[in-house]
């Protein structure tokens, strides 16, 4: 017990995590042409596509007067969550060759993948919204507190779901395929292309249980000062961020050696 505690308190753990982050950067962004360009291209391309399609179908977006800002404010937090969740979910499999060393643990692998994914998405978000706000007259007042909270919400849900899936993908490989199928409709059900208030009452009652709808609503609150998403429940969202994380960490701590032997 004492040796494990000292292991966590010395300076070797941050160095291990930093080394894993550098390894992740070189393998994820260093092997393909363009590197970080592709991380930026995904939200940009998604925003351009949504703007092009819906600007032909409607005279104005549901909020404000700028289609690109409206769709980016829904797409960016959704991609932030999904990217963090997918990266963390593969942490053990990705770092398996290094986990045989006693100084490298499954927790180091999870933290390293989380940090790189989160920081990358924050950078992408900064670049995209800076361009949108400077290149057009959006007539908006930025609420940095709401935006900051939305970023924390996206990262917290991403690492929570990702940690649970890190366990499930390793124990039940078929779950990775099922999860991919279940995730496909989320883009259409998470408030990326609509606001909660525009939904029919019967549909709104069902979709309220989707935590991503709370996330996109909080992000849009930061860009539209007149928008008040009263449906958001932070305690409900916090439960989604806490329960899967605790379950995933508990069983990974208990069975990580067995999982590594079976991978």
Cβ atoms within 10 Å of 142's Cβ, excluding its own: 14
- Residue 228 or residue 99, greater confidence: 228
Share above pLDDT 70 across residues of the chain, in percent, rounded to a whole number: 92
What is residue 32's DSSP assignment? S
| Nearest to 245, CA basis, from 171, 168, 160, 167 | 160
d(CA 121, CA 124): 5
Split at pLDDT 50, 70, 90, the class of 35 is: low
Q: Which domain holds residue 21?
A: 2-262
| Nearest to 63, CA basis, from 78, 73, 52, 53 | 73
Stretch (H or E) spanning 35: none
Residue pLDDT, tens place only, 167-201? 999 888 899 899 988 888 899 999 999 999 999 99
Whether 160 shows a pLDDT value over 70: the answer reads: yes
What's the whole-number mean pLDDT along residues 102-117? 89
Burial of 29 (0-12, 13-18, 19+ CB in 10 A): middle
Domain count, the chain: 1
pLDDT for residue 12: 59
Global pTM value? 0.89
């Amino acid at each position: 017990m004492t040796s494990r505690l000292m292991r966590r308190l010395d300076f070797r753990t941050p160095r291990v995590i930093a080394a894993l982050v550098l390894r992740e950067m070189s393998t994820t962004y260093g092997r393909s042409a363009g590197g970080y360009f592709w991380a930026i291209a995904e939200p940009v391309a998604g925003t351009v596509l949504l703007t092009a399609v819906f600007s032909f179908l409607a005279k104005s977006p549901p909020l404000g007067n700028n289609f690109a800002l409206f769709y980016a404010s829904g797409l960016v937090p959704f991609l932030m969550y999904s990217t963090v969740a997918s990266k963390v979910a593969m942490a053990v499999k990705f770092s398996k060759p290094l986990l045989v060393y006693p100084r490298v643990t499954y927790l180091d692998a999870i933290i390293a993948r989380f940090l790189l994914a989160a920081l990358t998405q924050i950078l992408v978000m900064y670049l995209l919204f800076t361009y949108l706000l400077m290149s057009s007259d959006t007539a908006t007042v930025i609420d940095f507190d709401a935006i900051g909270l939305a970023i924390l919400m996206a990262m917290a849900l991403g690492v929570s779901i990702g940690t649970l899936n890190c366990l499930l993908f390793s124990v039940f490989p078929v779950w990775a395929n099922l999860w991919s199928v279940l995730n496909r409709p989320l883009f259409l059900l998470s408030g990326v292309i609509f606001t909660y208030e525009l939904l029919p009452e019967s549909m709104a009652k069902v979709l309220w249980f989707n935590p991503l709808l709370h996330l996109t609503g909080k992000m849009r609150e930061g860009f539209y000062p007149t928008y008040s998403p009263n449906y958001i429940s932070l305690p409900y969202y916090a439960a989604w961020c806490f329960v899967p994380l605790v379950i995933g960490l508990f069983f990974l701590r208990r069975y990580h050696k067995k999982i590594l032997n079976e991978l």
